[in-house]
Structure 1
Amino acid sequence: MNSTTAMDFGTWPDLFAVDVEGNGAGPPDLVEVAALPICDGRPDTANAGAWLIRPPRPVTPRAARVHGLTNDRLAAEHPWAHVSGAVRGLLGTAWICAHNAHTDYRVLSAHLPGWQPAGVLDTLRLARATHPGLPGYSLDALIAHLDPDLSGAPASGRHRATYDAYAAAQLLISMARRYTTWDQLIAVAVPPGLPGAPRPEEDPTLW
């Protein structure tokens, strides 16, 4: 995994670290979305997008305790229909990255019919491959173990979409430095079945 050749971040395609927060319903309604570009190995906060959303169903007390977004706090925000176009327009067909990316990809896909990112990187999957044997792989555990630079993180704090997207971006950047190429990175970071997963090579013995 370690190599004398450093990862060239300039070769990366368009990529956003994303995070979503929900109202606690099943399936969840969105209450917050963040999309943070990663450019040349750095989070690009100047061109990030963040949206608070008034959900059609109330925020459950349990969800409110996690992210702090109460029904009163969201009462004056726009519903999803008013912001979905901006979210779709920013993400386009770029790659996305998230921690435990299955969840963010599934929820965003449900709210953006027809949207398809070029690929999906999962920092949870990447961390298990890059740092095997850790006692835990939650976002908090990886922040404690890898100590990424979060000095520029939004003041919103943990469990808010803007902060968690920034943390996922910095974790990705930190772990990516242990790989040589983008192809090596996606080989271990894209969960099977999600967009961008490398296709298994054909068995040459079949012919």
Structure 2
Amino acid sequence: MNFSSWPTLLVVDVEGNGCNPPDLVEVAALPVLDGQPDKSTAGAWLTKPNRPVTPFAARVHGLTNQMLDDKPGWEEIKDAVHACLGTAWIAAHNAHVDYRVLSAHLPQWQPAGVIDTLRLAKATYRDLHRYSLDALIEHETPDLSQAPAHRHRATFDAYATAQLLIAMASHYESWEQLVAAAVPPGLPGSPEPEQEPTLW
């Protein structure tokens, strides 16, 4: 895989307050440059949700209401998040979720495309029994020694997802092949289906 052929791509992850639909409590956006995660230009935000973090959500990601109480609200950071994401491609694990939540919070945002590492993993590793982020970390054993925070925090999960994306990309010869395997139908960047020839 020639990583220099890749367009601008950010691996994203979001954490919510546990409500449905969720309020965001953390957003991470990690660029992949020349086949490496670039922490020096990454974006990471904590935000105080409009509704309290549920006990279940706090147990998962460790972000409590007390920790978020002095953080800016979404209205204060949304322009910075939008500016960071721009019109770049994004990648995420089970990307429907992150894309849907970010789109709800940033109605004007439109990425160039959406890579789903869950979909990509199923195409790349056909014999695995599970395709969760933990299962893929166990299978691929990426170097996570430089990952910030801890599992289930947006910054850690974005870093882990970036390393998995880079590893899986080595199984494909071109960006176009990767896109064909990794972009869910109906999401931005999905390859156009070939039109059946007609007489009209």
Please, what TM-score do these two structures have when normalized by structure 2? 0.98
User: CA offsets, 1:121-161, max 9 Å, x none?
Assistant: 0000000000002011000000000111212111x100000
Cα distance in 1 for partners of 2:177, 2:77 equals 35
Cα distance in 1 for partners of 2:84, 2:139 equals 32
Match status 1:194 vs 2:187: yes
Residue of structure 2 aligned with 1:95, choices 84, 89, 94: 89
Residue of structure 1 aligned with 2:34, choices 40, 44, 60: 40
Cα distance in 1 for partners of 2:176, 2:142 equals 23
User: CA offsets, 1:80-99, max 9 Å, x none?
Assistant: 00110000001100000000
Please, what TM-score do these two structures have when normalized by structure 1? 0.95
1:23 paired residue number: 17
Aligned ranges 1:20-169 → 2 under 5 Å:
20-154=14-148, 156-169=149-162
Aligned ranges 1:178-189 → 2 under 5 Å:
178-189=171-182
Q: How many residues are matched?
A: 199
- The one-letter code sitting in structure 1 at the alignment partner of 2:192 is R
User: CA offsets, 1:7-26, max 9 Å, x none?
Assistant: 10001000000000000011
- The one-letter code sitting in structure 1 at the alignment partner of 2:31 is P
Q: Secondary structure at the match of 2:115?
A: strand
1:4 paired residue number: none
1:11 paired residue number: 5
User: CA offsets, 1:153-179, max 9 Å, x none?
Assistant: 11x100000000001100000000110
Q: Secondary structure at the match of 2:19?
A: coil
Question: Displacement, 1:103?
Answer: 0.1
1:177 paired residue number: 170
Gaps of 5+ in 2: none
What is the RMSD computed on CA atoms of the aligned residues? 0.6
